Amino acid sequence: MAINDAVDWRADLGGGTHVAIVQAGTFRSDAGALFGPVPRLLWDRLVTDEIDAENRLLQALNCLMVETPAGRVLVETGIGERVDEKTRTMRGYQGSPILAALRAAGFDPGTIDVVALSHLHFDHAGGLLDAAGERGFPRASIVAQRAEWEIAFSENPRIVASYVQPELALVRDWGAEGWADGEREVLPGVSVVPTGGHSAGHQAIVVRGTGAGARTLAFFGDLCMRPWSANPRWVTSFDDFPLDSVEAKASLFARAADEGWLVALSHEVRTPVGRLVRDRDRYRFEAV
Ligand SMILES: [Zn+2]
């Protein structure tokens, strides 16, 4: 089935390339950690309607389905099905995991050729396996940066807290077959671009349509989670290399703004896609 109405957002980029957002449930993250060094006075009003009694924000697990004449790419897999009740409660995880969400939207996970992951944190790489531990995307290769696979198994206690290493170990060989060293076109018109910043091997995914009226859509992963991430200086506490995040955001966002790219946000519930518009020394996210 082609990209259809049963998705959270969709667009035709031109030349037979279509994109759609499929939300693989929601979870909750500490608000202060999401805003990093930004004072609460500046962000409080942005989140009044979603902050809960435990000071957590509602975060969507946005995945991007890309259909091109050359094949299908899924970007991100959410938290997945392999979580126990304790973790589910702790994370405030609700809704359909990716395999069920894809099927509900009319996509057979068995038809996906490439799964591209911005990075390997639990809320992006968690859905690679089904509940039984089998490959959720039997035909697909996994494309993440080699640097990300390497850092994911570090013994540094901060890294151990961000990656679910026992689960990643189960998909390590599968991941190694597809890992990227730098920028790579994974299918014609779909490229991964290393950014670092949020994690050592974090990457963006850029999808380019062709022909008259062609459009470009970028998925900047957790460098651009929510509308307020449009300010390059607003970097989360979860970013392992914040100065790199600021630099990567500034250069990627300049390009996205100047070339009118669509931008898909990794964790925004209500307005997952928009454009970046220059605003003084920063950018403003305008939903489409
Ligand atoms: Zn994330």
Rounded to a whole number, what is the largest CA-CA distance in the chain?
A: 51
Kindly report the CATH number assigned to the domain that includes residue 97.
Answer: 3.60.15.10
Q: Say how many Å lie between the CA of residue 119 and the centre of ligand 1.
A: 8
**Number of domains present in the structure of the chain:** 1
86 alpha carbon – ligand 1 mean position (Å): 19
94 CA from centroid of ligand 1 (Å):
15
Residue 3 lies in a domain: no
Tell me the residues surrounding ligand 1 (ion) with CB < 5 Å. 123, 222
Please report whether residue 80 resides in a domain: yes
Residue-range definition of the domain harbouring residue 161: 9-287
Residue 231 included in any domain: yes
The pLDDT value recorded for residue 197 is 98
Q: Tell me how far the alpha carbon of residue 212 lies from the centroid of ligand 1, in angstroms.
A: 34
In a domain, 280, yes or no: yes
Give the C-alpha separation, 216 to 41, whole Å.
Answer: 35
Task: Spell out the residues 6+ positions from residue 103 whose beta carbon is closer than 8 angstroms to its own.
Answer: 109
> Is residue 23, in this structure, part of any structural domain at all?
yes
Give the model's pLDDT for residue 3.
73
Whole-angstrom Cα distance, residue 232 to residue 234? 6
Please tell me the distance between residue 50's alpha carbon and the centre of ligand 1 in angstroms: 17
Q: Which three-class secondary structure state does DSSP give residue 35?
A: helix
In a domain, 200, yes or no: yes
Give every residue of the chain whose pLDDT is below 50, as ranges. none
Distance 38 CA to ligand 1 centre (A): 19
User: Which neighbouring-strand residues pair with 20?
Assistant: 10, 65
Q: Residue 179 has what pLDDT?
A: 96
Output the six-digit token pair for 44.
């409080």
Which secondary-structure segment (H or E) carries 157? helix 157-162
**Distance of CA 250 from the midpoint of ligand 1 (Å):** 20
What's residue 269's pLDDT?
94
Cα 124 to ligand 1 centre (Å): 6
Q: 4 lies in a domain?
A: no
Q: Give the tens place of pLDDT for each residue, 58-89.
A: 999 999 999 999 999 999 999 999 999 999 99
> What is the DSSP secondary structure assignment for residue 272, as one 8-state letter?
-
